[in-house]
Amino acid sequence: MSASIVQKFRPLIIAQTNTKCTGSVIFLHGSGDTGPGIRQWLQSVLGEEFAFPHLRVIFPTAPPRPYSPMGGAVSTVWFDRDQISPFTAETESLTTACKEVSHLIEAEVKNGIPKNRIVIGGFSMGGCLALHLAYRFHKEIAGVFALSSFLQTESSVYKSIKEDGSSLVPLFQFHGKKDCLVMYEWGEDSFQKLKSLGVEGQFHTLSHLQHELNRKEIELLKQWIVEKVRNN
């Protein structure tokens, strides 16, 4: 991976159990977190590294930028928004973030990983960005996952699929019913709208789960990733 890519998403962490991998997973953290932060969180939940023998797992960190819900304070967020609400209009920074993270996907392709062996996803805001990447810019990837995540009610993702729904990336979504930050109804509504547009996917939930990661959730996610990108 080029020095410029590493510099852009510093700290950028790569988990790789073998010297040669035949696929990649790009895991995007939630707002205010970092690549090392989400990796450590996954480790603490699983009791082991979030890793695969045949896949490279990439944990980028969002470049710091002003974040309106924090009064304009600088934070490691993938994009800005006026407030945390399903009815807020998307900002241009979301498209900019898609272009930034696209460089990671392109770097994997240059390293010999076909797009159809790349999975991208994330937690909360990271999951939202992954959905935009999968259904607006990189429709050839193997799969997309969104944990405790969302799309705006009038998201450009829906518009993009309506304009060209010829190739839709498989989706894995998980949302806790006790989530008080990204309400369960918001996540479920996002999934149902995508499903109504032809997206094939899985929607899992736990009745007690809040805005957090869970062992059962991550184990199901790992199984799904292996199904989408099998070990050759």
Please pick, among 93, 124, 148, 190, the residue that the annotation labels catalytic. 124
Cβ neighbours of residue 87 under 8 Å, at least 6 residues apart?
152, 153
For residue 228 the two structure tokens come to 């989408």
Active site residue 124: yes
Q: The sheet that has 171-176: what strands, in order across it?
A: 13-15, 55-59, 23-28, 118-123, 143-147, 171-176, 201-206
**Residue 205 carries which side chain, given as an amino acid letter?**
T
Task: Round to whole Å and give the CA distance between 124 and 148.
Answer: 5
**Residue written as tokens 């989400």?**
38
Residues ≥6 apart with Cβ < 8 Å to 201: 170, 171, 172, 173, 191, 194, 195
Place of tokens 């696929």: 23
Q: Quick check: bond before 170 cis, omega within 30?
A: no
Q: Which of 31, 149, 179, 190 is catalytic?
A: 179
From 54, 103, 204, 211, the catalytic residue? 211
- Which residue's structure tokens are 């990733």? 225
How far lies 132's CA from each of 16, 34, 80, 119, 230, in Å? 26, 20, 14, 13, 24
To the query of whether residue 179 is one of the catalytic residues in this protein, the response is yes
Residues identified as active-site: 124, 179, 211
